[in-house]
Amino acid sequence: MPVSRRNVLKNIALGTSAFLAAPSISFANNFEDEKNYKLKGNINHSVSRWTFGYLSLDELCKAVKEIGFNAIDLVGPKDWPVLQKHGIYSSMCYTAGDNNLYNGLDNPIYHNQLIKEYLEVIPVMAKAGYKNLICFSGKREGMDDETGMKNCMDALKKILPFAEKNGVTMVMELLNSKIDHKDYMCNHVEWGAELCKRISSENFKLLFDIYHMQIQEGDIIRNIKDNHQYIAHYHTGGVPGRHEINDTQELYYPAVMKAIVETGYKGYVAQEFVPTYTDKLDSLREAIKICDV
């Protein structure tokens, strides 16, 4: 069964750790080198909260600082005080609502609730100094691309003036619909980029999830270079399986990271893979080093 952020978040909410049952893999890497590694500063590193859900947020904050970076993705407002206590930045924010990937902006029946949630959290984000707020297209449910795009635009036009006023960017995630998120609408870079063009606001951009886009359409480096002006954030993950981003999977992440740096990107790259090593923080140390070009 493919690893899913949605399923893992459910497991965390239920107090379970079923996702830790993935088999550990042993490598000959010298993890002492990773522990002593000094970051170069060309990439702003982050990590998605849900992938290290076996740790308390306090523990993850301490680990992040020990590794040498200072940001965590996908943390909701109730947990921001924990980040602030440790001097950790919320690099991609959630609302306090359900954050359902499938009940998204492409369906008008969800607009009132979603708009309410976004308008409530935006000023709280601004006060905390946070900039990026995740959003989702939702499922197609029989809608064609054009109808879904127009519905997303209708909702975003009611949110973006407030986001612009508060210096917050709405960031729609690109997800694959082949394996992990069947029927998801924003599943191609071309569709997401077209929505950005039509919205025509610096406060609406895309979250380019490298794992998802490798599964959906590949051609990662060209897509990044051709559409970098519409991208506000990146996620990683090994393909197939969404585990470590080392040489057990099909992408060569150093080349992808170099391409991102060459576009002039100054945002965050968040590790979003499910670790399988016995010491799961060794997976994170290794990934940060791989991406630190």
Structure confidence by residue, pLDDT tens digits, 155-199: 999 999 999 999 999 999 999 999 999 999 999 999 999 999 999
Read off the pLDDT of each residue in 272-283 and give the average, rounded to a whole number.
Answer: 98
According to the model, what pLDDT value does residue 92 have? 98
Q: What confidence tier does 4 reach under pLDDT thresholds 50, 70, 90?
A: low
The terminus-to-terminus CA distance of the chain in angstroms comes to 33
Has residue 19 got a pLDDT over 70?
A: no
CB distance 83 to 61 below 8 Å:
yes
d(CA 152, CA 146): 10
Q: What confidence tier does 26 reach under pLDDT thresholds 50, 70, 90?
A: very low
Lowest mean pLDDT among 85-99, 106-120, 198-212, 227-241: 85-99
d(CA 113, CA 158): 12
According to the model, what pLDDT value does residue 262 have? 98
Lowest mean pLDDT among 31-40, 91-100, 172-181, 251-260: 31-40
Q: Between β-strands 169-173 and 44-48, what pairing exists: parallel, antiparallel or unpaired?
A: unpaired
Model confidence pLDDT, tens digit, residues 34-83: 667 889 999 999 999 999 999 999 999 999 999 999 999 999 999 999 99
Model confidence pLDDT, tens digit, residues 110-161: 999 999 999 999 999 999 999 999 999 999 999 999 999 999 999 999 999 9
Angle ∠(99,103,106) on CA atoms, nearest 5:
115
According to the model, what pLDDT value does residue 21 have? 40
Read off the pLDDT of each residue in 271-290 and give the average, rounded to a whole number.
Answer: 98
Question: What's the one-letter identity of residue 12?
Answer: I
* Residue tagged 């297209």 (tokens): 137
Model confidence pLDDT, tens digit, residues 216-242: 999 999 999 999 999 999 999 999 999
Q: What confidence tier does 96 reach under pLDDT thresholds 50, 70, 90?
A: confident
* Residue tagged 């069947």 (tokens): 182
Model confidence, pTM: 0.89
Has residue 13 got a pLDDT over 50?
A: no
According to the model, what pLDDT value does residue 30 have? 55
Return the sign of the alpha-carbon dihedral for residues 148, 153, 158, 163: positive
Domains of the chain: 5-23+30-291 (3.20.20.150)
According to the model, what pLDDT value does residue 57 have? 98
**Token pair recorded at residue 66:** 């020990």
According to the model, what pLDDT value does residue 100 have? 83
CB distance 173 to 134 below 8 Å:
yes
DSSP track, the chain: ----HHHHHHHHHTT--GGGGSPP------HHHHHT----SSSEEEEEGGGGTTS-HHHHHHHHHHHT--EEEEE-GGGHHHHHHHT-EEEEE--SS---SSS-TT-GGGHHHHHHHHHHHHHHHHHHT--EEEE---B-TT--HHHHHHHHHHHHHHHHHHHHHHT-EEEEEP--TTTTSTTBS--SHHHHHHHHHHH--TTEEEEEEHHHHHHHT--HHHHHHHHGGGEEEEE---TTTS---STTSS--HHHHHHHHHHTT--SEEEE-----SSSHHHHHHHHHHHH--
Q: What confidence tier does 2 reach under pLDDT thresholds 50, 70, 90?
A: low
